[in-house]
Amino acid sequence: MPDSFPPDSVGLAVPEVHHFAEPLELSCGRRLASYELVVETYGELNAARSNAVLICHALSGNHHAAGFHRVDDAKPGWWDDYIGPGKPIDTRYFYVVCLNNLGGCHGSTGPRTINPETGLRWGKHFPPLRVRDWVLSQARLADRLGIEQWAAVIGGSLGGMNAMRWALEYPARVRHCVVIASALKLTAQNIAFNEIARRAIRSDPDFRDGDFAEHGVVPRNGLALARMVGHVTYLSHALMGQRFGRELRSGSFARGLEVPVEFKVESYLHYQGDKFAESFDANTYLLITKMLDYFDLAREYGDDPVAAFRTARARFLVVSFTSDWRFAPQRSQEIVQALVAANRDVAYACIDSDMGHDAFLLPNARYEKLLRTYMARVAETC
């Protein structure tokens, strides 16, 4: 058990709850009369309020991007490799903001929280959301924190969609937009994987048509299965081969023995699935995968991503990873081509990695250097 934090860590991270009393008009036509967002910040906002960076989390992420909640935490926040003093998103220069988004299940208003109008848990009745609803709620948070313009809005995967939407919805409020392992919209294959995950959850008897909490149960099997499917798609063929191969965790193939065999990859997936089922909310999973499916950056711009990006004012960094087949490099190239055609400033790199879609969260020397170099330019404009 460590008795202090590593020197390049942001150290103890203390989540703050921000209550918003002003109603939020949602894309679906409904409104949230009030809501709460759980937020972590690292570093200091400068006097000019020009060094704020928004980190947008992906499907299963939350506000805890960096640092530790307790000295004896086994693991730091989900993007700790990239956020901290001396790290690519350097908290000596930047004021970094990360929140649990609306509809999430880590403290912000979502299916797990109580609807103040009914006094009951939102559960399956939480309104459907679009990424733009997140952006609107984040803009309110920026107002609250005194941030007129973000130095950068950064996100991977769904977070990348969030970042792009920011650049279109509030062109004057985003100086740099960093879009990692993302897409203008999901492909059919991607939607298909999401629907398999959703069906896994819905068909768990403990799901109880979304009212599992009222029955005091959790659809653990469904959630675990959804996560297992997702996890396979986040890794690459090569990585699974390297990490697990056909190695056995238990049992034997020896003749004359009748011992059940378990492959390492099986136990790994069960472990990941079960761990996820312990912490994640089934209704949130359904809600956020739908947000992913419905996202289409250019829908309201005549289905023309070039027209969409013409409204942006930010400079863009777009990053993809060679072995990512869930958000393939081709998807990032579509973003880049639209940006070039729209005359927007953009740098694009395709990072060599075996880590699949998960690469955007993991250490990688080239990725780290690229992000560090880009963010150093961003810091110069603060």
Active site residues: 157, 324, 357
152 belongs to the binding site for another protein (CB under 8 A): no
Give dist(CA 75, CA 85) in Å, integer: 18
Binding test (CB under 8 A) with another protein, winner from 139, 145, 340, 382: 340
DSSP state of 258: -
Q: Which is nearer to another protein, 97 or 314 (CB)?
A: 314
Q: How far is the CB of 50 from another protein (least distance, A)?
A: 17
* Nearest in space to 37 (alpha carbons), one of 58, 15, 54, 53: 15
Give dist(CA 3, CA 8) in Å, integer: 15
89 belongs to the binding site for another protein (CB under 8 A): no
Binding test (CB under 8 A) with another protein, winner from 307, 370, 379, 382: 370
Q: Are 73 and 6 in contact (CB under 8 A)?
A: no
Binding test (CB under 8 A) with another protein, winner from 37, 66, 89, 346: 346
Binding test (CB under 8 A) with another protein, winner from 242, 252, 311, 343: 343
Binding test (CB under 8 A) with another protein, winner from 139, 238, 341, 382: 341
Q: Which is nearer to another protein, 106 or 344 (CB)?
A: 344
Q: How far is the CB of 347 from another protein (least distance, A)?
A: 5
336 sits in the region (left: phi over 0; alpha: psi -120 to 50; else beta) called alpha
327 belongs to the binding site for another protein (CB under 8 A): no
337 belongs to the binding site for another protein (CB under 8 A): yes
Which of these segments, 44-52, 133-141, 142-150, 362-370, binds another protein (CB under 8 A)? Answer: 362-370
Q: How far is the CB of 237 from another protein (least distance, A)?
A: 23
Residue type, 186: L
192 belongs to the binding site for another protein (CB under 8 A): no
First vs last C-alpha separation in the chain: 38
321 belongs to the binding site for another protein (CB under 8 A): no
Q: Which is nearer to another protein, 106 or 315 (CB)?
A: 315
167 belongs to the binding site for another protein (CB under 8 A): no
Binding test (CB under 8 A) with another protein, winner from 189, 242, 252, 373: 373
Q: Are 12 and 66 in contact (CB under 8 A)?
A: no
Strands (E), 134-184: 152-156, 176-180
Q: Which is nearer to another protein, 203 or 343 (CB)?
A: 343
Residue type, 325: W
The H or E element that residue 16 is part of is strand 16-20
DSSP state of 128: P
Q: Classify the C-alpha dihedral 373-314-179-18 as positive or negative.
A: positive
Q: Are 99 and 145 in contact (CB under 8 A)?
A: no
92 belongs to the binding site for another protein (CB under 8 A): no
CB-based contacts of 77, cutoff 8 Å, min separation 6: 13, 40, 64, 65, 66, 67, 68, 83, 98
Which of these segments, 11-19, 194-202, 219-227, 347-355, binds another protein (CB under 8 A)? Answer: 347-355
Give dist(CA 200, CA 221) in Å, integer: 8
Q: How far is the CB of 152 from another protein (least distance, A)?
A: 13
> For the purposes of burial, counting CB atoms within 10 Å of the CB of 227, is it exposed (0-12), middle (13-18) or buried (19 or more)?
buried
Q: Which is nearer to another protein, 59 or 317 (CB)?
A: 317
Q: How far is the CB of 121 from another protein (least distance, A)?
A: 47
Residue type, 290: K
Binding test (CB under 8 A) with another protein, winner from 196, 347, 379, 382: 347
Residue that is written with structure tokens 């313009």 in the block = 149
* Nearest in space to 312 (alpha carbons), one of 340, 286, 334, 332: 340
Binding test (CB under 8 A) with another protein, winner from 317, 355, 359, 361: 317
Which of these segments, 155-163, 182-190, 226-234, 342-350, binds another protein (CB under 8 A)? Answer: 342-350
Q: How many residues form the binding site for another protein (CB under 8 A)?
A: 21
The binding site for another protein (CB under 8 A) comprises 317, 333, 336-337, 340-341, 343, 345-350, 352, 366, 369-370, 373-374, 376-377
